Amino acid sequence: MSALQNPKAPANLRAVDSLTVALGSRSYPIHIGPGLLRDPALYPSDAKQILIVSNEVVAPLYLQTVRAALGDRDVQTIILPDGERVKTLATFATILDRLVDARFHRDCCLLALGGGVVGDVTGYAAASFQRGVDFVQIPTTLLAQVDSSVGGKTAVNHPRAKNMIGAFHQPIAVLADTDALKSLPPRELAAGLAEVIKYGVIVDPDFFAWLERAMPKLRALDPDALAHAIRRSCEIKAGIVAEDEREQGKRALLNLGHTFGHALESLGNYERWLHGEAVALGIVLAARTSAAIGWIGAADCERLEALLESAGLPIAAEGVDPDRVLERMQLDKKADRRGLKLILIERLGRAVVVPAPERAVLKAVLAAASG
């Protein structure tokens, strides 16, 4: 068992909040709070070979802090370019090449220092190297702290479909250092808020209402508001993952907006929208589809769009071709021989997984949103 499955208590007990993703022998902690990157007690004590994977934006800010906390180890680093376009099999191979060339053993550990792209590709490499080695998620964006670092989904993109190639491989810990959010550009912060809002929509109407009140504080990086938003988001995701680790049922709810959003991302060559922006657009499209079939009411639809706008997120996908979006949606991982599935909204705080409505309904929703 890894040392981090029975982790030492964080050094600053008053500032650090911890919760557990309950998966039996593979359970792991999520630590949330300021200054975590500097705390040696939170890193795996039994791994002497460590590969840190980061990117050219994050590494200059935090790499030396992490290296100092690791002490006297065999530490290798890989610095990737920034952006979704490096989330490829070529990058995956680069990480594996380094592990092999440096003669890393099965008891090594990979550290994913960065946002969702770094976490996903590093996790997939950890899942594959010697059929699975330990890795730690060190998310430095809000989106990664509340979503992609938790739950063990690892992947790279196919040119025509996002996250099509990957594996379920749980980290041994998540270190969500809230100090890292101070360096986020406003657009990246907003992208993370899309995933936070998602949790309120799918299961927690009280959290949704709190977000409506707290959004100005969140955008201003109020530490108490951020800590609550991250904690509640991680609680919801951890509970769902513990119940349905491999997405056979309830976990699919976490993909609200993602089927639309992933199609938009791929059509935009992973450059036009950040992932969280595409998810926000997808949530709008899911809500409007839900309204079109008589579920969520117009008032709640407007309330949801107003919250997304107040977070600094887009709610209209100007200029997209509805037919091309629908074509890309057919490549979604939730599609099977019976057809495409969508997560739709019965009311704020309750979402369900259902077969997609008729193409004409979806095309009309997309046409209205594309201007």
On whether the CB atoms of residues 112 and 135 are closer than 8 A, the answer is yes
On whether the CB atoms of residues 211 and 307 are closer than 8 A, the answer is yes
Is 258 considered catalytic here?
A: yes
Is 237 considered catalytic here?
A: yes
Question: 222 CB contacts (<8 Å, ≥6 apart)?
Answer: 214
> Which one is catalytic: 87, 251, 328, 341?
251
CB neighbour class for 100 (10 Å; exposed up to 12, middle 13-18, buried from 19): exposed
DSSP 333: T
In sequence order, the β-bridge partners of residue 155 are: 166
> Which one is catalytic: 262, 288, 328, 333?
262
Q: What are the DSSP calls for 239-270, one per residue?
A: HHHHH-TT-SSGGGGGGTTHHHHHHHHHHTTT
Q: How far apart are CA 143 and CA 133, in angstroms?
A: 25
Q: How far apart are CA 348 and CA 203, in angstroms?
A: 8
> Which one is catalytic: 232, 258, 328, 333?
258
Backbone dihedral angles phi then psi of residue 184, each to the nearest 5 degrees: -75, 135
Q: How far apart are CA 262 and CA 270, in angstroms?
A: 9
Is 98 considered catalytic here?
A: no
Q: Provide the 3-class DSSP secondary structure of residue 51.
A: strand
Is 105 considered catalytic here?
A: no
> Which one is catalytic: 153, 198, 228, 341?
153
> Which one is catalytic: 55, 157, 163, 255?
255
> Which one is catalytic: 195, 265, 277, 305?
195
Is 247 considered catalytic here?
A: yes
CB neighbour class for 192 (10 Å; exposed up to 12, middle 13-18, buried from 19): buried
> Which one is catalytic: 14, 103, 131, 338?
131
CA 289 to chain centre: 24
Q: Provide the 3-class DSSP secondary structure of residue 345.
A: strand
Is 275 considered catalytic here?
A: yes
The long-range contacts involving 95-104, CB below 8 angstroms and separated by at least 24 positions, are 95/51, 95/53, 95/121, 95/122, 95/125, 96/125, 96/128, 96/129, 98/51, 99/51, 99/125, 99/129, 102/49, 102/51, 102/74, 102/76, 104/49, 104/51, 104/76, 104/129, 104/133
> Which one is catalytic: 275, 328, 333, 341?
275
> Which one is catalytic: 247, 265, 277, 305?
247
Is 251 considered catalytic here?
A: yes
Q: How far apart are CA 369 and CA 187, in angstroms?
A: 21
Question: Which residue type occupies 223?
Answer: P
Is 169 considered catalytic here?
A: no
Active site residues: 131, 153, 195, 237, 247, 251, 255, 258, 262, 275
